Amino acid sequence: MAEKPVVVIGVGEMGSVFARGLLRLGYPVYPVNRGSDMKALAEQLPKPKLVLVAVGEAALQPMLKKIPKPWRKRLVLLQNELLPNDYADIKNVTVISVWFEKKMGQDSKVIIPSPAFGPRASLLAKALATLDIPVKLVDKPRDMLFELVVKNLYILTSNIAGLRTGGTVGQLWADQQETARAVAKDVIALQEAMTGSRFNNDELIAAMVAAFEGDPDHKCMGRSAPARLARALENGKRLGVELPTLESIAQEQQAVPA
């Protein structure tokens, strides 16, 4: 018996990895690209096995507003900077915190196992296993919240600290730990305000460092770092959270000639 189709919205580097794993399991994959008519495709495929939303974080909310109703109970989200508020009104959503890199012309590079939660998490684990990418299945929403915050802490700390220090995450922790911890303190305060939750800071830092150790040569600062800093400061202002180290780094950036 043929497997149900799956839909992949955004077939970039990350979407293509999941598509390849699902194809290896025998699922026909239907891509949705910029010019695709989602409404027409949803009429043809009203009950796909899953609908993977693989657009970037900035495009997520606009895309979620366009998702056809028949697909909304089958969504899988994988964006960075994802928090439960981003999908609070979606039922049966599956979320994976991606801890592997995929760059053009290179195979996937695993940092640590990727936690996944929701009704289609096991299928994601099976699909990625065909590509030797490990997935950690998460059973409880609170545990997945922790995993999402760890990923945000890793990304924001390394990117924003990297604006000051440059270098790799291994160098950041070995040589610039004071800056890393100061940035992380601000980021945790912001994540707590954004989620309405409290976390054990030591556990979060330990999980972040484990990810640093998973790929110590990973560069701190990507192209998105300035935008992440600006977004963090904007969220802090909106929520009334003081972020002294982030403000200091933003002022340093403004003082640097273009």
- On the question of pLDDT at 223 being above 90, the answer is no
pLDDT band at 108 (very low <50, low <70, confident <90, very high): confident
Q: Say yes or no: 150 and 74 in one domain.
A: no
Q: Say yes or no: 14 and 131 in one domain.
A: yes
| pLDDT, greater one: 205 or 108 | 205
Residue 157: closest CA among 115, 112, 188: 188
Helix (H) or strand (E) holding 7: strand 6-9
User: CA angle 37-41-46, nearest 5°?
Assistant: 145
User: CA angle 126-115-226, nearest 5°?
Assistant: 125
Residue 216 belongs to some domain of the structure? yes
Mean of per-residue pLDDT scores for the chain: 93
Give me the DSSP letters along 197-248: ----HHHHHHHHHHHHHHSTT-BS--TTHHHHHHHHHHHHHHHT---HHHHH
Residue 1 belongs to some domain of the structure? no
| pLDDT, greater one: 58 or 53 | 53
pLDDT of residue 33: 86
Q: Do the beta carbons of residue 163 and residue 253 sit within 8 Å?
A: yes
Phi and psi torsions of 65, nearest 5°: -70, -20
| CA distance linking residue 96 with residue 121, whole number of Å | 8
pLDDT of residue 58: 87
Q: Say yes or no: 158 and 128 in one domain.
A: no
Q: Do the beta carbons of residue 154 and residue 214 sit within 8 Å?
A: no
Weakest mean pLDDT among 103-117, 147-161, 162-176: 103-117
> Where is the domain boundary, 96, 116, 139?
139
- On the question of pLDDT at 256 being above 80, the answer is no
Domain count for the chain, please give it. 2
Phi-psi region of 115 (alpha: psi -120 to 50; beta: other; left: phi over 0): beta
Phi-psi region of 84 (alpha: psi -120 to 50; beta: other; left: phi over 0): alpha
- On the question of pLDDT at 1 being above 60, the answer is no
Give the range of the structural domain holding residue 49, as residue numbers without chain letter: 6-139
Residue 157 belongs to some domain of the structure? yes
Q: Say yes or no: 12 and 133 in one domain.
A: yes
Residue 168 belongs to some domain of the structure? yes
Q: Give pTM, 2 decimals.
A: 0.93
